Chains A and B, each alone.
Chain A
Amino acid sequence: DGGITQSPKYLFRKEGQNVTLSCEQNLNHDAMYWYRQDPGQGLRLIYYSQIVNDFQKGDIAEGYSVSREKKESFPLTVTSAQKNPTAFYLCASSILPQGTHLGYTQYFGPGTRLTVL
């Protein structure tokens, strides 16, 4: 929504398998983010990227990996090292943050619900 797509909407995987979640945006945004949301909980930042070929760990990066080979794309891989991967994963994008004085809106994709069996 708002130019950000995530696929698939629902994803089922067996325990021990890596899985990659897709996130694409056509808003020409420099910054992209991945969040994890557990039932009834808030948003926790996994990784973010402000420029192609560069990304930073968020609060809960362990067991996850990302890449940013293109401005439009920021895929997230949930590895087998992630001990509790079942969750709702949200991708977002924004213009490049410019310090603390200018706010910027985050546009969220529709999310992917990952269930690990």
Chain B
Amino acid sequence: GQQVMQIPQYQHVQEGEDFTTYCNSSTTLSNIQWYKQRPGGHPVFLIQLVKSGEVKKQKRLTFQFGEAKKNSSLHITATQTTDVGTYFCAGPDNYGQNFVFGPGTRLSVLP
């Protein structure tokens, strides 16, 4: 079946360092979404990417969709303690009825 993988599983950075998480799908995706879940909280939608090679920015966050639409990345520049949480990518399932979530990358930021 369709699989969505993310690496790394965990990342510990010093405040001010950059951070990148990678998402890979076993199938081509029509679009991909990114969510953030703060510790003890619930996932919150960050962004959706639709076009091949698309790059979108939200302040210090840069999201990219691969040319083949099978992978994506999230890059955070100069991390802050407010960036702590787990970042999930999600893509439509093969039937277009649900999203398949990746296992997430848990980010810790040391002050």
User: Chain A interface (Cβ within 8 Å of chain B)?
Assistant: 1, 33, 40-43, 45, 48, 50, 56, 58, 90, 97-103, 105-111
Contact = CB atoms under 8 A, between A and B. Distances in A.
Nearest to B50: A103
Nearest to A113: B40
B98 A108 contact: no
A90 B42 contact: yes
B85 interface: no
Interface stretch (B12-20, B75-83, B99-107): B99-107
Interface in B3-33: 30-31, 33
B46 to A, nearest CB: 10
B48 interface: yes
Question: Do most interface residues of chain A lie in helix, strand or loop, or is the interface mixed?
Answer: loop
A40 B99 CA distance: 20
Contact of B48 (A42, A43, A105): A105
Interface string B50-81: 10000000000000000000000000000000
Nearest to B4: A42
Contacts of B43: 43, 90, 106, 108
Contact of A43 (B31, B33, B88): B88
A105 B45 contact: yes
28 contacts: A33-B98, A42-B101, A42-B103, A43-B43, A43-B88, A45-B98, A58-B98, A90-B42, A90-B43, A97-B96, A97-B97, A99-B96, A100-B92, A100-B96, A101-B30, A102-B30, A102-B31, A103-B30, A103-B31, A103-B48, A105-B48, A106-B43, A106-B45, A106-B90, A107-B45, A108-B42, A108-B44, A110-B41
Contact of A103 (B33, B35, B94, B102): B33
Contacts of B90: 106
A111 B40 CA distance: 9
Nearest to B27: A100
B85 to A, nearest CB: 13
